[in-house]
């Protein structure tokens, strides 16, 4: 049984962003612009994605 994952790509730079938004990006494992990671589809990760959705591209 595999767990559902979401592909998340950082589309905009973190320079000049609010500290909590930078922390959300780091929490998702995103390091720099155009970096893509796969994260588990959990409520915690969804909350971080929703908070910084203006910086991301999400593929389910």
Question: Which pLDDT score is estimated for 17?
Answer: 97
pTM: predicted TM-score of the whole model, two decimal places: 0.90
Number of domains in the chain: 1
Question: Which pLDDT score is estimated for 2?
Answer: 72
Taking alpha carbons only, the member of 9, 58, 5, 49 closest to residue 32 is 9
Give the residue ranges of the chain where pLDDT is below 50: none
Q: What is the CATH number of the domain that holds 16?
A: 3.30.1390.20
Range of the domain at 45: 5-59
Q: What is the DSSP letter of 22?
A: H
């Amino acid at each position: 049984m595999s767990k559902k994952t979401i592909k998340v790509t950082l589309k905009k730079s973190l320079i000049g962003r609010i500290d909590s938004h930078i922390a959300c990006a780091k929490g998702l494992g995103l390091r720099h612009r155009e970096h893509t990671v796969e994260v588990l589809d959990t409520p915690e990760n969804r909350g971080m994605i929703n908070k910084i959705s203006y910086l991301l591209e999400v593929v389910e």
